[in-house]
Amino acid sequence: MDSIVLYTEEIDDLRDAAEELFSQAEGFRRRKHSVAILFAEEDTNYPELHELLSERWDFPIVGCTTLAMLLAEQGCVRTGISVLLLSADDCEFAVGMTGNLDKENYREEIASLCESLLKELPEPPKLALTFGGMVASEKNVPGDEVVAAVEAVLGKEVPLFGGIASDGFNFNNYSVFCGDRVTKSGQAIVLVAGDVDPVFVTTNSVENRADVTYRVTEARSNQVMRLGNGTFVDALRRENMEVGKSNVVGDYFLSPFILSIDLGDGDVAEITRTLSLLNLDTGAGVFLGGVPEGSIVRLSILNQKDVQKSVNQALEKMFAELSADGKRRTLLCHSCAARFLALASNTSAEAEAYQGRLPEGVSLLGMYGNGEYCPLPGNKTGKLHNFFHNFTFTIMAI
């Protein structure tokens, strides 16, 4: 599979922006099948941009808004539009997006989309890329439920990789794109079939952890009603945490909740979760991802040192994979927006970890989102399990 990354900082005059993207793609050899992954800052008029790009590009475009982008040459940038063009003779792409999702319709909507995309491919997919909206209310669908709904159709053996749209920490100005459509709560999916064998690396190292732990004694999906003998809000109150309002995602953005997940077959994985909302009537907490009943939960603090250490670990591992393989030429990265915030004035730290070190001919594009989809290996068997993450840095090589 061939790829190229395009970038323009122009978003006011979108015809100029489109012309700049077209110009950068002129030397790129298009194959039989192509798709574009597009990330843009929140103020980009995507419908207008898509109309302009479609004048010359006859292939699908999919992506989302983002707080910031990661580029091989420019590093970390807050403004503009970036595009990863993927093109291949030996791979085919099927692209689509659901309608607006809620907890009543998401299974049916995701199943319908996945089934229709499967019919477009000549063989079963070997990879699914996905982009979606965040949990901004109790009606929104958490990332874990999206994973389960996709797996119900595609099976657990198809790896799922992608991210959640973000914005400039407004938490209400994000968008997901697919073709000429824009949504806040739809799920865009790209199925890839053919000669593709992705490799994944993910890290969520958070070392600054509180001594106090709680067992989740009552929970439903991403809603935690009780910790120990009291409500979730009671536990936060005892720890002198913010409990005075409903929307608390900004207050807890740098305070992840760490929990261990039993994967079966003796495998355990540690994941982190972002608290989004508090139900002050019931005392429940609503997270961006699922928190299984019976889990042991520990509060932690994300800091700059942890972020820099973990991204270096992830990239070292991925560079070793690329060196050993020599065939994979494209890197797609998703990093949590909380990591960007933790870097404070040194927001280029994650980009500096790869700049000047990419093997010749390897393309890289990344974005900061409000959640990440990436397979995670079990600690004993090494078997990959699709997961929705928070606070991670994830990389896929294809």
Query: Tens digit of pLDDT for each residue in 265-283?
Result: 788 888 889 899 999 999 9
Query: Tens digit of pLDDT for each residue in 123-162?
Result: 999 999 999 999 888 889 999 999 999 999 999 999 999 9
Phi then psi for residue 22, to 5 deg, are -60, -45
User: Among the three residues 301, 325, 354, which one is the final residue of a domain in this structure?
Assistant: 301
Q: Are residues 134 and 63 in the same domain?
A: yes
Q: Are residues 339 and 282 in the same domain?
A: no
- Number of domains composing the chain: 2
Give residue 309's pLDDT.
Answer: 83
Tokens of 121: 């491919």
Residue 73 pLDDT > 70, yes or no? yes
Q: Are residues 51 and 139 in the same domain?
A: yes
Q: Does 321 or 205 have the greater pLDDT score?
A: 321
> Which of the four pLDDT bands, split at 50, 70 and 90, describes residue 299?
confident
Residue 117 pLDDT > 80, yes or no? yes
User: Among the three residues 247, 267, 301, which one is the final residue of a domain in this structure?
Assistant: 301
Give residue 179's pLDDT.
Answer: 97
Q: Are residues 104 and 214 in the same domain?
A: no
Query: Tens digit of pLDDT for each residue in 385-398?
Result: 999 998 889 999 99
Domain limits at 273? 209-301
Q: Are residues 153 and 183 in the same domain?
A: yes
Q: How far apart are the first and last CA of the chain?
A: 8
Q: Are residues 249 and 267 in the same domain?
A: yes
Q: Are residues 124 and 21 in the same domain?
A: yes
Q: Are residues 217 and 350 in the same domain?
A: no
Over range 373-378, report the average pLDDT: 90
Q: Are residues 292 and 353 in the same domain?
A: no
Query: Tens digit of pLDDT for each residue in 166-207?
Result: 999 988 999 999 999 999 999 999 999 999 999 999 987 677
User: Among the three residues 278, 301, 324, which one is the final residue of a domain in this structure?
Assistant: 301
Q: Are residues 84 and 195 in the same domain?
A: yes
Over range 15-28, report the average pLDDT: 97
Dihedral angle over CA of 37, 42, 46, 47, nearest 10:
140
Give residue 356's pLDDT.
Answer: 86
Give residue 34's pLDDT.
Answer: 98
Q: Report how far residue 196's alpha carbon sits from residue 38's, in angstroms, rounded to the nearest whole number.
A: 20
Q: The pTM is what? A: 0.91
Q: Are strands 61-65 and 33-40 parallel, antiparallel or unpaired?
A: parallel
Q: Are residues 173 and 237 in the same domain?
A: no
Residue 162 and residue 394 in contact, taking contact as beta carbons nearer than 8 Å:
no
Q: Report how far residue 347's alpha carbon sits from residue 351's, in angstroms, rounded to the nearest whole number.
A: 8
Give residue 99's identity as a one-letter amino acid code. Answer: G
Q: Are residues 312 and 353 in the same domain?
A: yes
